[in-house]
A = this chain, B = another copy of it.
Amino acid sequence: MATVNLKKLATELQLSVSTVSKALMNSHEISIETKERVLLLAKQLNYIPNPYASSLRRKTSKTIAVVIPEVADSFFSIAINGIEAVAQSKGYHVLIYLTHESFEKEKAILNDFQSGRVDGVLMSLTSETVDTAPIHNLHAKGIHVIFFDRVCEEIETAKITTDDFESGYKATQHLIERGCRKIAFLCFSKSLSISNKRMGGYKKALTDHNIAINEADLVFCTNDDAYNHALLLKSMGQKKHPDGIIASVEKLTTTAYLVCKELKLSIPDDVKVVSFSNLQSAPILNPALTTITQPAFDMGKTAAALLFRALEKPGFSLKKESHIIPSTLIVRDSSGSCEL
**A: which residues have CB within 8 A of B?**
1, 48-53, 55-56, 61, 70-72, 74, 76-78, 80-81, 84, 88, 93-98, 100, 105, 111-112, 114-117, 140-141, 251, 253-254, 257-258, 261, 279-281, 283-288
Q: Cβ of A49: which chain B residues have Cβ within 8 Å of it?
A: 115
How many copies of the shown chain assemble into the complex? Answer: 2
Q: Cβ of A258: which chain B residues have Cβ within 8 Å of it?
A: 283-284
Instruction: Report the Cα distance A56→B78, complex, angstroms.
Output: 35
**Pick from B48, B51, B74, B115: contact of A48, CB under 8 Å:** B115
Q: Cβ of A72: which chain B residues have Cβ within 8 Å of it?
A: 74, 77-78, 280
**Pick from B51, B52, B281: contact of A281, CB under 8 Å:** B281
Nearest CB to that of A118 among chain B residues?
B51
A233 to chain B, nearest CB (A): 15
| A80/B84 in contact, CB under 8 A | no
| A254/B284 in contact, CB under 8 A | yes
A325 to chain B, nearest CB (A): 20
Nearest CB to that of A96 among chain B residues?
B96
Q: Cβ of A105: which chain B residues have Cβ within 8 Å of it?
A: 88
Q: Cβ of A261: which chain B residues have Cβ within 8 Å of it?
A: 284
